[in-house]
């Protein structure tokens, strides 16, 4: 029977939580809908009531997103950090897998970069009959 009166002690509105974490209000609600975040308590009138611990969780979530973790991965990480904070091994597995993804992406992008850079360099910028940029894109350029 706590929180008859709202916004006591450490309790936060969604707007305040948004400010504190830099996560959009709509996004917070989206995280709740998709079960990345647990549904918080509500006031008598139905407004969401967050605890200060939620700031920590949401900040974690935000940072993980910035690091490119998917919401599925984050759901898993949050479960692991939760009550049965068991296997660091599992956390490591997720992070390592993600690291592999990142490395593959970097390698792809660098190949692209080299190809594009080389091509743009050949480009005079004038109205030439044949454009090297269009050429590499063309079927001839297949490798």
Partner DNA sequence: GATTCATCCTGTAGCCGCTACAGGATCAAG
Partner DNA sequence: CTTGATCCTGTAGCGGCTACAGGATGAATC
Neighbours of 74 (CB within 10 A): 21
- Find the binder of DNA among 8, 16, 63, 105 (CB under 7 A): 16
Contact at 8 Å (CB) between 58 and 74? no
Q: Which stretch binds DNA (CB under 7 A): 26-34, 92-100, 101-109, 127-135?
A: 26-34
Task: Work out whether 10 is an interface residue with DNA (CB under 7 A).
Answer: no
- Find the binder of DNA among 3, 20, 30, 55 (CB under 7 A): 30
- Find the binder of DNA among 67, 72, 85, 103 (CB under 7 A): 72
What is the per-residue DSSP string for 16-63?
A: HHHHHHT--HHHHHHHHHTTSSPPPEE-TTS-EEB-HHHHHHHHHHHH
Q: Which stretch binds DNA (CB under 7 A): 22-30, 92-100, 114-122, 123-131?
A: 22-30
């Amino acid at each position: 029977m706590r929180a008859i009166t709202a916004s006591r002690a450490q309790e936060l509105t969604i707007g305040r939580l948004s400010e504190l974490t830099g996560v959009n209000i709509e996004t917070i609600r989206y995280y709740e809908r998709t079960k990345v975040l647990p549904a918080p308590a509500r006031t008598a009138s139905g407004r969401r009531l967050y605890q200060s611990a939620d700031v920590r969780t949401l900040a974690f979530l935000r940072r993980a997103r910035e690091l490119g973790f998917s919401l599925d991965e984050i759901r898993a990480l949050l479960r692991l950090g939760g009550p049965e904070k068991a296997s660091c091994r599992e956390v490591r597995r997720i992070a390592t897998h993600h690291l592999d993804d990142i490395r593959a992406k970097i390698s792809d992008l660098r190949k692209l970069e080299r190809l594009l850079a080389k091509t743009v360099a050949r480009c005079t910028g004038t109205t030439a009959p044949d454009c090297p940029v269009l050429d590499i894109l063309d079927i001839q350029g297949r490798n």
